[in-house]
Amino acid sequence: MIDDDDIAAIASGYVESAIGIIRVSGKNSLELLKKIFYPKKANFEANKIYHGFIKDLDSKIIDEVMVSVFKSPHSYTGEDSFEINCHGGLLVMRNVLELVLKNGARLAMPGEFTKRAFLNNKIDLVQANAIGNLIKAKTQKSLDIAFSQLLKKNTTIIDNLREDITFLMAENEVTIDHPDEDLSNINLKNRLSLLNKIHHSIEKLLNYAKKGQYFFEGASVVIIGKPNVGKSSLLNELVGHQRAIVTEIPGTTTDVVSEMISLNGIPLKILDTAGIRKHSNKIEFLGIQKSKEVIDTADLLIAVFDASIKLDSEDEIILNVIKNKKNVLVALNKSDLPIHFKLPSKFEAIQISCVKKSGIETLKNKLYEMLLEDYNADEVVSLNYSQIVALKSALMQTKKIKKAYQNLLDPALIGIELQLLADFIEQIIGKIENEDILDNVFKNFCVGK
């Protein structure tokens, strides 16, 4: 699966800067370096930086550079590699890269350096994900989580899963290899107990992965309510400036208005929707339809009610929308006025006043708490779509194995099911046979990574 080609790319990005970095990796890369680089000392030693000149085939100087040399297996990719630190002009970087390509290297595909690191067992897929997240992190907390994941500080739960599954597999092999021996210490109750532990660990890992998605991909928070309850005013308070037009005329917002904020390290996309009620015209009808669409995809809803008036039929429409939703935060706006609104006992509410700017911080804290319920910073992981699919498949597989145990299925058949469970978990770390799946993991990386 590992190509023999030498690969090269501008690792620092093709933008004008003080220093540009051209990264090259492959089994013949150091031989390539000798063709184009002229240092004072020609015998390249690993993990050292050399000063010299890049020259073309006619011995014309292209640039004065510093070159870092790395030898297999002690490099990022696990292969012989080098990095040219040249001047960061666009033309200089292009000329150096073109010279490298003319001397036998090919242009690297997006993420190919990291893919080679994975294939050479320098990193696993969880760490590969962390590298991608380090690059795209938009908040300090997401950066901290990505770095912890890269250092494998938050993969204990995955390691424990592998250990427990391996134990079940070994125990099952004993029953196959020694059918006539007394194996009373291997009982069904203990097997089911360990299987339940594995099941709950996978559920927990899926939950941690969901929290990880919030940090790196953000969460969507949709503000809903009938017209003129202060939805747009709340949006403006949350983003810290006037993003939405606010008037006393009901139905001022006729489309979904969105804005990004950072809430304690979580990128949040706040969406203000058109007031939901029985529509009075076609434009309002279309706005309400769009509101209902974003409600269905929201990670969390903020249902806003006017605390200064009694509950009416339009409020009932909103209550009907949120009654079966899990992540709903109810805000009673205009609480600086005499309160006449009576919320059904099923719901808890936070009293706010957008005019007086009161209760907003309490609402933000509650929002954060609801998004990260049972949040443990040391266990949050960021997994890609394929890894999450593998986890969900593993969860279903535990249920299948449980039935196999309970029905006293032949141990050889149980062994097949246990191997499938182990394979699903291995896909999270990186045992992937399908080249297309592997390419998909790394395709969103930048070219020089």
Q: Is residue 387 part of a domain?
A: yes
Q: Is 248 annotated as a binding residue?
A: yes
Say what the pLDDT of residue 257 is: 79
The CATH code of the domain that includes 355 is 3.40.50.300
Q: Is residue 139 part of a domain?
A: no
Q: How many domains does the structure of the chain reveal?
A: 3
Same domain, yes or no: 260 and 335: yes
Q: Is 152 annotated as a binding residue?
A: no
Flag whether pLDDT at 416 surpasses 80. Answer: yes
Average pLDDT over residues 261-273: 84
Q: Is 23 annotated as a binding residue?
A: yes
Question: For residue range 196-247, what is the model confidence (pLDDT) as tens digits?
Answer: 999 999 998 888 888 888 888 788 899 988 888 888 889 888 887 655 444 4
> Which residues span the domain enclosing 269?
218-371
Question: For residue range 302-319, what is the model confidence (pLDDT) as tens digits?
Answer: 999 999 999 888 888 888
Q: Which two tokens stand for residue 92?
A: 């200089």
By percentage, how much of the chain surpasses pLDDT 90?
36
Say what the pLDDT of residue 187 is: 77
Q: Is 272 annotated as a binding residue?
A: yes
The more confident residue out of 186 and 209 is: 209
Flag whether pLDDT at 184 surpasses 80. Answer: no
Cα 395 from chain centroid? 20
Same domain, yes or no: 254 and 359: yes
Average pLDDT score, the chain: 82
Q: Is 398 annotated as a binding residue?
A: no
Q: Is 59 annotated as a binding residue?
A: no
Q: Is 313 annotated as a binding residue?
A: no
Same domain, yes or no: 92 and 13: yes
The Cα–Cα gap between 15 and 362 comes to 43
Say what the pLDDT of residue 10 is: 94
Q: Where does the pLDDT of residue 263 fall: very low under 50, low under 70, confident under 90, or very high at 90 and above?
A: confident
Q: Is residue 151 part of a domain?
A: no
Q: Is residue 357 part of a domain?
A: yes
Say what the pLDDT of residue 393 is: 94
Cα dist. 17→13, 22, 333, 393 in Å? 9, 13, 50, 47
Q: Is residue 367 part of a domain?
A: yes
The more confident residue out of 347 and 39 is: 39
CB atoms within 10 A of CB 285: 14
Q: Is residue 440 part of a domain?
A: no
Longest dimension (CA), the chain: 87
Say what the pLDDT of residue 61 is: 95
Burial track 394-428 (b if 16+ CB lie within 10 A, e otherwise): bbebbeebbebbeeeeebeebbebbeebbbbbbbb
Same domain, yes or no: 363 and 292: yes
Q: Where does the pLDDT of residue 252 fall: very low under 50, low under 70, confident under 90, or very high at 90 and above?
A: very low
Same domain, yes or no: 354 and 237: yes
Same domain, yes or no: 336 and 400: no
On whether the CB atoms of residues 143 and 152 are closer than 8 A, the answer is no
Q: Is 250 annotated as a binding residue?
A: yes
Flag whether pLDDT at 176 surpasses 80. Answer: no
Q: Is 330 annotated as a binding residue?
A: no
The more confident residue out of 2 and 72 is: 72
Same domain, yes or no: 280 and 408: no
From 348, 371, 394, the end of a domain falls on 371
Same domain, yes or no: 89 and 183: no
Same domain, yes or no: 34 and 82: yes
The CATH code of the domain that includes 93 is 3.30.1360.120
Q: Is residue 99 part of a domain?
A: yes
420: which DSSP letter? H
Say what the pLDDT of residue 306 is: 92
The CATH code of the domain that includes 183 is 1.20.120.430
Q: Is 233 annotated as a binding residue?
A: yes
Say what the pLDDT of residue 251 is: 45
Which of 181-190, 240-249, 328-337, 429-438 has the lowest average pLDDT? 240-249
Q: Computed from CA positions of residues 71, 75, 80, 81, in that sequence, does the dihedral angle turn out positive or negative?
A: negative
Average pLDDT over residues 389-414: 91
Average pLDDT over residues 173-178: 75
Q: Is 181 annotated as a binding residue?
A: no
Helix, strand, or coil here: 64?
strand
The Cα–Cα gap between 308 and 140 comes to 40
Helix axes 231-239, 360-371, angle to 10 degrees: 80
Question: For residue range 351-378, what is the model confidence (pLDDT) as tens digits?
Answer: 999 999 999 999 999 988 888 776 666 6
Q: Is 435 annotated as a binding residue?
A: no
Q: Is 27 annotated as a binding residue?
A: no
Q: Is 251 annotated as a binding residue?
A: yes
From 69, 94, 119, the end of a domain falls on 119
Say what the pLDDT of residue 37 is: 95
Same domain, yes or no: 202 and 257: no
Q: Where does the pLDDT of residue 34 fall: very low under 50, low under 70, confident under 90, or very high at 90 and above?
A: very high
Same domain, yes or no: 165 and 88: no
Flag whether pLDDT at 177 surpasses 80. Answer: no
Q: Is 135 annotated as a binding residue?
A: no
Same domain, yes or no: 57 and 97: yes
Q: Where does the pLDDT of residue 255 fall: very low under 50, low under 70, confident under 90, or very high at 90 and above?
A: low
Please, what is the Cα angle at 248 between 242 and 252, to 5 degrees?
Answer: 65
The Cα–Cα gap between 146 and 141 comes to 9
Helix axes 411-429, 125-136, angle to 10 degrees: 30
CB atoms within 10 A of CB 275: 25
From 91, 119, 147, the end of a domain falls on 119
Q: Is residue 247 part of a domain?
A: yes
Residues 6+ apart with CB under 8 A from 180: none
Flag whether pLDDT at 31 surpasses 70. Answer: yes
CB atoms within 10 A of CB 20: 26
Which of 122-136, 191-205, 331-345 has the lowest average pLDDT? 122-136
On whether the CB atoms of residues 167 and 194 are closer than 8 A, the answer is yes
Say what the pLDDT of residue 384 is: 79
Cα-only R_g, the chain: 29
Q: Is 228 annotated as a binding residue?
A: yes
Q: Is 139 annotated as a binding residue?
A: no
Which of 99-108, 189-198, 366-375 has the lowest average pLDDT? 366-375
The more confident residue out of 106 and 347 is: 106
